[in-house]
Homo-oligomer: A and B are copies of this chain.
Amino acid sequence: MRSAREAHPKDRLLRTASRLFYAEGIHAVGVDRLVSEAAVTRATFYRHFPGKDDLVAAYLKTASEAIREAIGRAREDKTPREALIAVMSVIGDATCADDFRGCQFINAAAEYPDSDHPVRAVIDDHRTWFLGVLRDLAAELGHPDPDHAARVLVLLRDGALQGGELDDPAVVRETLHRAVEDLIPH
């Protein structure tokens, strides 16, 4: 029986891809490197994924699911105001993580300029979902214009995730926190 630590080849591929794509970029990581670090053969790779782009899409879908869970947990047992601050704090905290390298979706979009590409669809899904979360929270806490508030929060989110990589993450987190508190009614 296969031990729990060394997962199935498909899982190892996905984990390795997530790590390498995020840390080094997508085009910069070749299939050779992927199969080598995942300890999987090329044949096995193409048995599970039709092509590299499908692995990229799977990587982003996995990232999206993880974020949805984290955001979901942050909302639990909180008033709308607390929940919104907690949700945006998830963003700010993420920028301060050791292995933070920007937003997976923004980084991926930079490497997939064609907006009709399947990878871009995964990105759009994630962004649409997050905007919806923010709009709902803004509405629940009685913001006079929840749609606008949500869109401003998305601007702050994108900016924070970018600034977390290119500027000082701790300063970015603090800036984001203050901006969020100023945005929502007291």
Interface residues of A (CB under 8 A from B): 23-25, 27-28, 101-102, 105-107, 109-111, 113, 123-124, 127, 148, 151-152, 154-160, 162-163, 165-167, 171-172, 175-176, 178-179
Contacts and interface: CB of A to CB of B under 8 A. Distances in A.
Main secondary structure of the interface of A (DSSP, over half): helix
7 contacts: A23-B113, A106-B110, A110-B110, A148-B175, A155-B159, A155-B179, A156-B156
B110 A111 contact: yes
B109 A166 contact: yes
Nearest to A152: B179
A114 to B, nearest CB: 9
Contacts of A178: 148, 152
A155 B127 contact: no
Q: 10 closest A-B pairs (Cβ-Cβ)? A: A155-B159, A158-B159, A110-B110, A159-B159, A107-B110, A27-B27, A158-B162, A151-B175, A152-B179, A155-B156
Contacts of A113: 23-25, 28, 101
A32 to B, nearest CB: 16
Nearest to A123: B166
B25 A111 contact: yes
Contacts of A159: 154-159, 162
B152 A175 contact: yes
Contacts of A28: 27, 111, 113
A123 to B, nearest CB: 7
Contacts of A148: 175, 178
Contacts of A23: 113
Given A23-B113, A27-B27, A175-B148, A124 B156 contact: no
